[in-house]
Structure 1
Amino acid sequence: MGVLPAEPLLGGVSRQPDPVRLPSQVEESINMLPDVAIGLTKRASQDIIKEIAEADSEITEDSFTQFFEDSEGNKYFMRIEDTTGGKKSVRIWDLDRDDETDVNTPVGGPATEGYFGLPSGVKPKDAFRTATSADTTFITNNTVETAEGLIFPVTTVDTTAGFFVKIEQANSDYTATINWSSSTHPAGNSETVTYTSPAASSNNRGPNKIARELRTLFVATTIAADSALTLTVDEGVLIVRLQDSSSSYYLETKVEEDPVGNEKGFTAINREVSELTDLPTVWRHGDYPIKITGTSETDFVQYYVGFTATDPSATDTTVARGTWAETLYYTNNVPPPTQTSSSLPARLIIDKSDWTAARGYAFLLEHEDADGDLYNGRTVGDTDIAPDPSYFGNTINDVFFYKNRLGFLSDENVILSELGEPYNFWTTTVLDVLETDPIDISADSAQVNVLKRAVSYDNNLIVFSKDAQFQMAGVPSPTASALSHLASYESDTDVKPVTSARAILFASPDTDDSSRVMEFQAIDTNIFTADDVTLHIPKYIEGRLAGMVAHTASRTTLCWTGRTDAGELYINNTLHQGAEKVQNAWHKWSLNSSAIDLNHIMGAHFFDDEIYVTLRNTSDDSIVITKIDNSPALYEPMLDYRYRLDFRREDTDLTITPSGSNYEFDYPYCSDSNFPKVVRHDPVTGETEEIDVISVVGTTVTTAEASNFSVGMVPEYSWKPSRPVLKDQNGKPLLHVINNLELQSAWVYHSNTHRYEAVLSSVGRDTTSDPMIATEGATSQYNVVAIETDAYETKVGAVYRDLDLEFTSHNIYPATFVNLEWHVEAGSYKG
């Protein structure tokens, strides 16, 4: 008889042909965990965190759902829905409290709710995207195009022009002209006056004298009879204001000649000047901006300035001293078009002023706050010198945070907010480019690439379109950042990529009934490659992936599909030694209850080492949120870890009533064909014992005990070994003898195990079950049942090609499988 070397059972599932599998890989693994420290062990229990009835949730298979955590560590479950049919947009449950919390829309509520309306046929889970930082979550609807702000119709005119006597020239003519139209002069009118300044020896002279005399001359013309015009003089400035009933009326001032000769001593001020120093320190408070056109010395940089009086009590009729500051262009009290917050991502924040013990904190969902629009609009320039963000008129496909900036993906662009200012996507000055300015860059590609997903990786931002990947490297900069093309891999952008310990994992379409997962990572500076980490499990992930989450500390990735008939999580565990990946183990956890239809996994999330899962009952749309404690300590063999029981309820959670000499209670996760387990456990002594279930009728359980117990369901823990492959001394499979290799027995080395069964079937034989039960008197962690570490032989007696062997452990007690050793008939092959 020959012995094939024992191998640790840590390689996970492989669906490749036997000769090319790794010795550590198995055919199937359900509800097990390949832990590199102890072996292939049972996963932890699945505990009920919250049950939400269908009438309370408004959740369907197409709802968007998400877990998140606030700055105080409170955990929440959120669902987002289409409001077109009358559902409330956002509903939130604090997972540590009994009641649903409140989501209020105190300002602009109807508009905010309207933002969550979807076109016919669009699913909420495909339309909504979120980004959370501390106590703030942004929610985007990728079907909504960002809209321009409303331009209110202007039916009146209110504008200002003037003359600035900056330098006096004695014995000189100052000729000024006012052109205007008004209701008095609808066809237009023009008045020109000339004042000759006094001699240099005069005591009554100066810029203000000239301005006053020009006003006197103008008042003596037809201007006096036009009530639409007002003329004011202060500090050498003659200010002309036109107010009338039609926005089509106009006002213009002109000077015929500058007496000083340098075109700076006497100027007309309209809507443009070449330099800021051309403007006086006295003007009308709050008047329309004036454009600075620039000079050759300033590279003709253009910008707008507005005037603010020093006196805080000034109104728009006040002419006074003040200052000019950069502002945005507008005319007749109407600024240029800007964005409306109601078409941008909604903000969800925790209301720390509103808390109750039953539901915890309330939330505010808003596009506006008490000061108006949530997002800033344009504050300087116009559409030419301060262009609109590129998301204007487009949908926002994803929202994210990156290095203290809020980010949007829209069309082919990445748009990042001003540094530290998530509500501002506009430049704050056109006179300089600041490193804190917003950033708006497009993908560097010859093909059209609509950007769909963004994720941070290794201090860079990686962005996905359907067919390509791009990178914004390092610290974002409005002067230096670029969105460079990295690679061209097809991805399923409905699934958000996740970062693992060393790479980005993303979904890639395979077929309609199966999925692949790709590992995208840098192999050199700006050189990335993607490897198919599911290559060895073709068709194993059944259905199209619906989501992924990764946990770096435990090197674990969870994947789930859109199937509504399975309730399975696909798990990938990895381990690196240096640059080498020594573990890439796929397996699955079946989290459904066979007694009721909890067959749809809608989402999963890691809160530290705890895995939270959303399970939907496909019969009535009720929701069960469960928790699996995946902390390493739970699997330590020397610790008194708890027995394995899913959907556990304590006796204190049940309504227990006498039934003759027994007691009965309702437990909705069982059926008369699928009995639950009733268990008494002493956390002090570690003693655990099962209590007999007398009967189950429907969901009514009868037992002899009235208190001090837990009830739950035992999942099917099982794994199938790969069939052994004989190899020569160089490790090459001996293909010519494999099919006829006679397998005598399989030795399983187990640790801290109570019981398991080896279920064997082969051609021409009935299926048999060979139980391993720990020897009485063995070291026990549970005091009532035996727990042992040993090896157990299962007689096989089958030819390789006919073998089907499975190990199961359908009980509440621990079981860990370390490795498997095959004994083969030495005469059945030739070396």
Structure 2
Amino acid sequence: MAVISGSVPNLINGVSQQPFALRLASQAEAQVNGYSSVVEGLTKRPPTKHVARIMGALPAASFVHIINRDVTERYVVVAVDGDLKVFDLAGNEKVVNFPAGKGYLSSARCNFSAVTVADYTFFLNRDMAVAMTEEIKPARGNEAILYFRQGTYAATYTVTIDALDPFTFTTSTTDPAEIQTNAIATRMAGLINANEDFQADVYSSTLHVRRKDGGPFEIKSGDSIGDTAIVCVTKQTQSYVDLPGRAVHGYQCEITGAPGNVFDNYWLEYDASGTGGNDGVWREIAAPGRKIAFDGGTMPHTLVRNGDGTFTFAPAEWAKCGAGSDATTPKPSFVGKTINDIFFYRNRLGFIADEAVIFSRSSAHFNFWRETATQVLDTDPIDVATSHVKVSILRHAVPFNESLLLFSDQTQFMLGASEALTPGTVSLDQVTEFETSPLAKPVGAGSFVYFCTLKGDFTGVREYYLDGVSKTNNANDVTNHVPRYVAAGVFKLAASTNEDILIALSSEKRDTIFVYKFYYSGQEKVQSSWSVWTLDAGCEILNAEFIENTLWLVIKRSDGVYLERMDIEAGKADAGLPYVVHLDRRLTETQVQSLHFDGSTTSFDLPYTESEDGSIVLVSRPGDATYRPGVVVPFQRSGSTLTVKGNLTHFYVGVRYALRYTFSPLLVRLNAAGGGQIANTEGRIQLRRALLNYADTGYFRVHVTPFRRPTFRYPFTGRIVGSGRNLIGEPTLETGSFRFPIMANNMGVEIVIVNDTHLPSRLLNLDWEALYTVRTQRMN
């Protein structure tokens, strides 16, 4: 029997569900409300700070979106079935106008999505299929134009309408005034207008002919100059050069192009507006009779902040079709389908619908129609579908590595392009085959994209990246060592690149935040830590979003919906104190209600209800004349009212929460031949004692529970006899080592570190000592 020692080098690698012999020494059995930092070690997670109660009771389903436009324009949007509210980050409600009503918000599942682009927040109802209205491009009545484009001496000009006698005349052989084309048009108009059934109007060298009763008629023209002097146009002509320079405003004509080819047809309309009816231009239009407008009530709506601080929620003004027919400029493929995601990429607004991704025109975010039917422009909308042997319904779109990563249920596609994203350069290529959860939108973090996968009753998370050596895409499973840890139903991922942290929210555990802390040193990942942060039981976290180093939380409780914040920053301390006061739902004296000093006692009301006895803690803070900073102040409680002796003016009040860290079994580890370490499970390890190293710590206690024996508790109070920091009446933080006994077999004891006070803990590593008995000697 020999006395041996071992160590847990650090406590920053979170939880592992691998068999104990395969775990790293720095991985734990459980970690709750701890923060794994490569700089500070294992600390108690930051507290949540109460901001405001923003709403009363909410129905079971709701949607929350956080707008982060800039440092002064940040808002929380809460949508329920049939209503929407907006709050600033101080909790103040903003006025929202609904000029078109709230019909688009009708969704019992609150199956919404939103994306903010500059001043607009595009709001998407995934349950509503896009439709077209009955609005069509109006067609004009029965009419014709006669274009007199050549005049010459002694030429005969003839116009025949229906079965009437031809209208004909011959120009002079000597008078140059008679051979002017406008004179010829005027002379022919006089002949036609002599018939009481027809009207001919002159536009320079062009006649506009119609029946006075609007009825149909047939018209043809002829001349003695090889039938080249007059062009007769009704509804169609083969070439644009047949059209006159002047015509009646609004005249429509189809350019048919090559015979038998319906894809080179296009429609023109004469626009004489603003020209006094003389000069004008032929403009391309949509084919008369085709549907040209989206039903704005079924398209994504916009939430816009107005200049007076109010908001307007209304249908966007989507552009109408301005060119071509259903064959030459077909409607976008999202029409008739529900839109699964909305995004912004390379100055284009994008939709995902079914197996297609659709982009707006470049720099024209409300226009999904081609500009012309005659050619495809670089600025035109893009509508491209996946090509795969599997049905690939696209769910999410995330910008990644200078391209766009698209997720279907089983496949990932990369939308690539050259320097410019155009209809001619776009391509949609299948790159990887990983199953993806449709619930939580993937989130980018630096050079990675994190997305969820379904694992039965649990959720997996993968880290998508571009391999710099092989130049291929891959996705590592960052939950491979905790396959049954993250609950099913993850609906939100959020990441902070400032702190290298990813969080996940699950509908199965609404009071829990699943936390992934990672750190790369060059290309090597040196930290991959999973743990959980728990809030008060019974609450529901509706949404969480990082803004810089702050995690903003929208939390539903029995008495309403609350906005809270969590400041995640290494080395942060409260003003005037050397540490952060760790109380959830934390308030200062400026946030409580009815603060009053009656000469002997101070009383105030909490702005929330906390039913658990003993959970409320009151701590004085710098500036108070009665109590020293950091002292726990005793109080009497009646409902939400707290009463304190003396004149308490500066304080923190909040709800206590507990850090719990459970060690994996302590093992002898040997250096492996190929590098690293392996666990030696031979022999018997009878643990005697352990030494826990800490820094800047005010409190913790160690629970040692041998198998089938009671739990032994060993507290560290932060006070060391003889220490210069140990001042009476003031909280103190110490740095050192805490020795505690174990006296149990390593496989039959549970060792847990607990801190359920407002004081900080910063735990570095653990050294242990044991009696080791082994029957054989290992030969390497």
Query: Who is 1:610 aligned against?
Result: 550
Deviates more, 1:434-443 or 1:687-696: 687-696
Does residue 1:164 correspond to 2:147, yes or no? Answer: yes
Identity over aligned pairs, percent? 25
After superposition, the Cα gap between the structure-2 partners of 1:230 and 1:335, relative to the gap in structure 1 and judged at 3 Å, is farther
- Structure 2 residue matching 1:162: 3-state secondary structure: strand
Q: 1:13 to 1:575 in 2, by over 3 A?
A: same
- The Cα of 1:818 is off from its aligned counterpart by 0.7
Cα deviations by residue, 1:346-404 (Å, 9 ceiling, x for unpaired): 0111001x2xxxxxx21011115xxxxx1111112222222211112221111111121
TM-aligned CA deviation for residue 251 of structure 1: 4.0
**2:742 is matched with which residue?**
796
Q: CA deviation at 1:811?
A: 1.6
Report what 1:146 is aligned to.
130
Hey, what's the Cα distance between the residues in 1 that align with 2:350 and 2:471?
22
Check if 1:380 corresponds to 2:380.
no
Question: What is the CA–CA distance in structure 2 between the aligned matches of 1:70 and 1:577, rounded to whole Å?
Answer: 32
Superposition pairs of residues 330-369 of structure 1, within 5 angstroms: 330=288, 336-352=291-307, 354=308, 361-367=309-315
- The structural deviation recorded for 1:447 is 2.5
Matched, 1:132 2:71: no
Relative to structure 1, the CA distance from residue 153 to residue 162 in structure 2 (aligned partners, 3 Å threshold; closer, same or farther) is closer
Q: TM-score, normalised by structure 2?
A: 0.91
Does 1:250 pair with 2:216? yes
Residue 750 of structure 1, aligned match among 666, 676, 694: 694
Residue 525 of structure 2 corresponds to 581
Q: Do structure 1's residue 193 and structure 2's residue 167 form an aligned pair?
A: yes
SS at 1:69 equivalent: strand
Q: How does 1:286-305 map to 2 (within 5 A)?
A: 286-287=250-251, 289-294=252-257, 301-305=264-268
Alignment of 1:100 with 2:93, yes or no, is: yes
Contact 2:126–2:338 (CA under 8 A) maintained in structure 1: yes
Distance 1:647 1:151 in 2: 54
Q: Is 2:263 the counterpart of 1:321?
A: no
Aligned counterpart, 1:307: 270
Measured after TM superposition, the shift of residue 38 of structure 1 is 1.5
| Aligned partner letter, 1:260 | I
Q: Deviations over 1:212-261 (max 9, x none)?
A: 343343344xxx232xx32123433222034647xxx4344322x45333
Structure 2 counterpart of 1:138, one-letter code: F
Kept in 2, the 8 Å contact 1:169–1:259? The answer is no
CA contact (8 A) 1:646 1:713 kept: yes
Comparing 455-464 with 232-241, which one deviates more in the overlay? 232-241
Give the Cα–Cα distance (whole angstroms) in 2 for the partners of residues 638 and 8 of structure 1.
30
Alpha-carbon distance between aligned partners in 1 of 2:624 and 2:371, rounded to the nearest angstrom: 64
Pair 1:90 & 2:64 matched: no
Structure 1's 91 and 242: CA in aligned 2 closer, same or farther, altered over 3 A? farther
Aligned counterparts of 2:726 and 2:378: Cα–Cα separation in 1? 62
Identify the match of residue 452 of structure 2 among 507, 513, 521.
Answer: 507
Q: Return the offset for 1:612.
A: 0.8
| Pair 528,203 (structure 1): closer, same or farther in 2 beyond 3 Å | closer
- 1:433 matches 2:376: yes
Q: CA deviation at 1:300?
A: 8.7
In structure 2, the CA distance between the partners of 1:477 and 1:483, relative to structure 1 (3 Å rule), is same
Range with greater deviation from structure 2 (194-203 or 513-522)? 194-203
CA distance in 1, matches of 2:331, 2:551: 43
Give the distance between the partners of 1:819 and 1:251, measured in 2 at CA.
Answer: 97
In structure 2, the residue matched to 1:117 is 106
Give the structure 2 partner of residue 231 of structure 1. 200
Matches of residues 776-815 of structure 1 in structure 2 within 5 Å? Answer: 776=721, 778=723, 780=725, 784-815=730-761
Listed one character per residue, the Cα deviations across residues 168-201 of structure 1 (whole Å, up to 9, x for unaligned) are: 244343332224xxxxxxxxx6653333333366
- 8 Å contact from structure 2 (residues 599, 647) kept in 1: no
Contact 2:292 2:322 in 1 (8 A): no
Displacement after TM superposition at 1:756 (Å): 1.0
**8 Å CA contact 2:8, 2:26 repeated in 1:** no
SS of structure 2 residue aligned to 1:801? helix
User: 1:804 aligns to what SS in structure 2?
Assistant: strand
CA separation of 1:225 and 1:649: change in aligned 2, threshold 3 A: same
2:355 matches 1:416: no
Aligned length: 762
CA contact (8 A) 1:779 1:788 kept: no
- Quote how far apart the aligned CAs of 1:828 are: 5.2
Which residue matches 2:665? 723
> Higher mean Cα deviation, 145-154 or 496-505?
145-154
Q: Secondary structure at the residue paired with 1:605?
A: strand
Residue type of the partner of 1:323? V
Whole-angstrom distance in 1 between the partners of 2:624 and 2:362 = 54
- The answer to whether the Cα contact below 8 Å between 1:677 and 1:690 also exists between their aligned partners in 2 is no
Show the counterpart of 1:491: 436
User: What SS class does the counterpart of residue 5 from structure 2 fall into?
Assistant: strand
Q: Give the direction of change, closer, same or farther, for the CA distance of 1:420–1:776 in structure 2 (3 Å limit).
A: farther
* Contact 2:134/2:291, CA 8 A, preserved across alignment: no
Q: 2:511 aligns with which of 551, 555, 567?
A: 567
Q: Of residues 618, 637, 648 in structure 2, which corresponds to 1:678?
A: 618
Deviation at 1:807, TM superposition (A): 0.3
Structure 1 range deviating more: 475-484 or 632-641: 632-641
Question: 1-side partners of 2:522 and 2:573: how far apart?
Answer: 25
Output the aligned Cα RMSD.
Answer: 3.0
Distance of aligned partners of 1:234 and 1:123 in 2 relative to their CA distance in 1, 3 Å threshold: closer
Q: Which residue of 2 aligns with 1:446?
A: 389
Task: Name the residue aligned to 1:371.
Answer: none
Q: Distance in 1 between matches of 2:137 and 2:241?
A: 34
Q: 1:416–1:438: 8 Å Cα contact kept in structure 2?
A: yes
Distance 2:165 2:410 in 1: 67
Please say if residues 752 and 815 of structure 1, whose CA atoms lie closer than 8 Å, have aligned partners that are also in contact. Answer: yes
Cα offset for 1:669? 4.8
By how many angstroms is 1:571 displaced?
0.8
- Whole-Å separation in 2 of the counterparts to 1:152 and 1:414: 26
Give, in whole Å, the separation in 2 of the partners of 1:197 and 1:779. 121
Q: Deviations over 1:437-496 (max 9, x none)?
A: 211111122332221211111211111112211111254211110111112221111211
Cα distance in structure 2, aligned partners of 1:148 and 1:445: 29
Q: Are 2:497 and 1:555 aligned?
A: no
What does residue range 24-39 of structure 1 map to in structure 2 within 5 Å?
Answer: 24-39=26-41
The 3-state SS of whatever aligns with 2:614 is coil
Cα deviation code 1:517-551 (max 9, x no counterpart): 11122226773222211111122123421211111
Counterparts of 1:76 and 1:423, CA distance in 2: 24
* Cα deviation digits, residues 542-588 of structure 1 (max 9, x gap): 34212111111211111111136x51111111111222211111111
In structure 2, C-alpha distance between the alignment counterparts of 1:779 and 1:637, rounded to whole Å: 23
The answer for the alignment partner of 2:580 in structure 1 is 642
State the AA in 1 paired with 2:656: V
Partner of 1:4: 6
**CA 1:670/1:693 → structure 2, altered by over 3 Å: closer, same or farther?**
farther
1:629: Cα distance to partner? 0.5
- AA aligned to 1:259 is S
Q: What is the rounded CA distance, in whole Å, between the counterparts of 2:233 and 2:302 in structure 1?
A: 44
Note closer, same or farther for the CA distance 1:688–1:722 as it changes in structure 2 (3 Å cut).
farther
**Cα distance, 1:632–1:230 mapped onto 2, change above 3 Å:** farther
* Alignment match, 2:644: 703
User: Following TM superposition, by how much is the alpha carbon of 1:790 offset from its aligned partner in structure 2, in angstroms?
Assistant: 0.8
Equivalent residue, structure 1, for 2:427: 482
Alpha-carbon spacing, 1:442–1:6, altered in 2? closer, same or farther (3 Å): same
Deviation, 1:421, is 1.2
Distance in 1, Cα, partners of 2:178 & 2:36: 100
Q: Deviations over 1:37-66 (max 9, x none)?
A: 1211112221001113425xxx23310112
Inter-CA distance 159–321: structure 2 relative to 1 (3 Å threshold): farther
Q: 8 Å contact 1:486–1:526 — kept in the other structure?
A: no
- Decide which of 544, 551, 556 is 2:489's aligned counterpart: 544
Q: What secondary structure does 2:313 align onto?
A: strand
Aligned to 1:86: none
Distance 1:430 1:713 in 2: 66
**Partner in structure 2 of residue 770 of structure 1:** 714
Preserved contact between residue 168 and residue 260 of structure 1 (Cα < 8 Å): no
